[in-house]
Amino acid sequence: MVQKFNYPKSEREFRKLQDEFYSISKDAIANGNKPSFKGLLEIIGSEVVILSAIHKIKANKGSNTPGSDGKTMKDDFLQKPADKVIKEVQNTFNNYKAESIR
């Protein structure tokens, strides 16, 4: 089952979209099918979804743990203005190039 979803305009709409994804996935699996969705990367890259992720990351103690590059989410990314972080994440999504698959 393939669906096309509109981008969420608020965190409430995002939550409803998550519930809809869950319901569609649950029904597909119950019928012996694999769930299939269109436009997930576009939805993930929307401002509302990125802001929701920022809120969850800020509340997570792991945001103080350095990554392999030595940077921490809290100190190196989340101290920037929200609009800059959103643009940076969106640019990363837009410029993503998958590595070759074996």
Number of folded domains that form the chain:
1
Give me the helices (H) in 9-100, please.
11-30, 40-44, 47-59, 73-76, 82-94
Nearest alpha-carbon partner for 57 in 65, 69, 68: 65
Whole-number Å distance between alpha carbons of 66 and 72: 4
Which segments in the chain show pLDDT lower than 70? 1-5, 101-102
**What's residue 2's pLDDT?**
53
List phi, psi (to 5°) of 79.
-85, -10
**Residue 82 lies in domain:** 2-94
- The single residue listed with the structure tokens 């992720």 is 53
| 101 assigned to some structural domain | no
Question: In this prediction, what percent of the chain has a pLDDT beyond 90?
Answer: 32
